[in-house]
Amino acid sequence: MLADEAGQLRAIRHVVAPQKTRPCPPSTLADATATRSLAGGSGFDRLAAAGLEGAQAGERNTHATSEGRSRPAHARAADLVGTQRRLRAGIPGRRRPDGVRRVAAAASGVQIVRATPPADLTDEAYERWARGEVDRWRSDVLRPPGPLDRAAREMQGRINRLIPEKVHATVTTVIEGMTRTILTGADLTTAPALIGASLAERDRRALAAISSYRATAAVEGGVTGAGGFWMALADFPALLVIKIKLLFDLSAVYGHEADHFEERLFILGLFQLAFSGAEHRAAVFHELEGWSARQHPADFEHFDWRAFQQQYRDYIDLAKLAQMIPVVGAPIGAIVNWRLLERLGETAMNGYRMRWLEG
């Protein structure tokens, strides 16, 4: 009996850890083990069968890829290359614990998502892609304020209530005069509206313009931040000029004449959309939807300059206060201005895409 048990133990060791030189053929051992199990074999036989099954499964995983190269079972699919390997999607419709929806698989079977405008698409295919970008942007714009946003808005509201009404009125008058002057002067240096181009070509030109203005704003923020308190004060009107001029250029890129008053109202709407709190931003967005199909005022009589200046000031005040700190004011000013122009550019591009797709 002891001899039989010892022989069975040797068979198990042979199955679970096969020799490197002459492994036992899996099919032969499987047949023998299965036969003995059916015939009422001992527990050693059933354990040997389980060990064989695990060994065969491991062999299949080892040779899962072409040419017999081994890879772990959790490795990425072999058809993903380059940036696609970092952008694989999960199960369509599944939400992660942080609430972000995973991306559904692409029609081609390669599960990726592109963050930049794709190349070599037909005009119709590009517009379908742009529509998806606009839908994503709409969701971001209309997202309700979170706890931090509400807390910050409440604190800013308390500060605004402490400021005398005469100060608010004075600031509103100054911002209105400055903005109206910039709107008048910006049109004089803006190129004619681009006619006959596709949406893909307009997006390409818009991205180039945003990149140029973003670099200009970063340099301006660095210089004024390095100059101390008084130079930092000069950053406010200088940055406002850069932002308005960018919006005028993007208006021309997307085929609109910025000398028309309704286009200037749309530009101010995009400005507020980029630099407002969540509640005011949602209201402005709904005003911009279907813009070309509605009639608009012919002057600024009913424009809310108080909300315009207060929302903008509340949005940038903390960052601009940090820009006045000695030594670190220069890098802070450069980074803040870069990000402000990036946000404005993204908002304007999607706003004009929305008008294009609305027809």
- Alpha carbons 261 and 5: distance in angstroms, whole number: 97
pLDDT tens string, the chain, 359 residues long: the values are 444 545 554 554 444 444 444 444 444 444 444 444 444 444 434 434 444 444 444 444 444 444 444 444 444 444 443 333 333 334 444 444 444 433 333 333 333 334 477 778 899 999 999 999 999 999 999 998 888 878 877 887 888 888 888 988 998 999 999 999 999 888 778 889 999 999 999 999 999 999 999 999 999 999 988 887 788 788 889 999 999 999 999 999 999 998 899 999 999 999 999 999 888 999 999 999 999 999 999 889 889 999 999 999 888 877 788 888 877 888 999 999 999 999 999 999 999 999 999 97
Give the C-alpha distances (Å, rounded to integers) separating 300 from 166, 187, 232, 261, 353: 22, 17, 30, 9, 25
Which structure tokens are listed for 8?
């069975």
Q: What is the DSSP letter of 101?
A: B
Q: What DSSP string runs through 278-305?
A: HHHHHHHHHHHTTGGGS---SSSTT--H
Q: What is the per-residue pLDDT across 36-85, written as a single tens digit (0 to 9) for each?
A: 444 444 443 443 444 444 444 444 444 444 444 444 444 444 444 333 33
Closest by Cα among 106, 102, 117, 179 to 350: 117
In the block, tokens 């742009």 appear at 130
Q: What is the pLDDT of residues 275-296, one digit of tens each?
A: 998 889 999 999 999 999 999 9
Answer positive or negative: Cα dihedral of 206, 210, 212, 216.
positive
H or E segment and range at residue 242: helix 228-253
Token duo for residue 118: 């794709």
The DSSP secondary-structure symbol of 67 reads G
H or E stretch at 316: helix 305-323
Whole-number Å distance between alpha carbons of 27 and 221: 74
Instruction: Indicate the Cα dihedral angle 295, 300, 306, 311, nearest 10°.
Output: 50
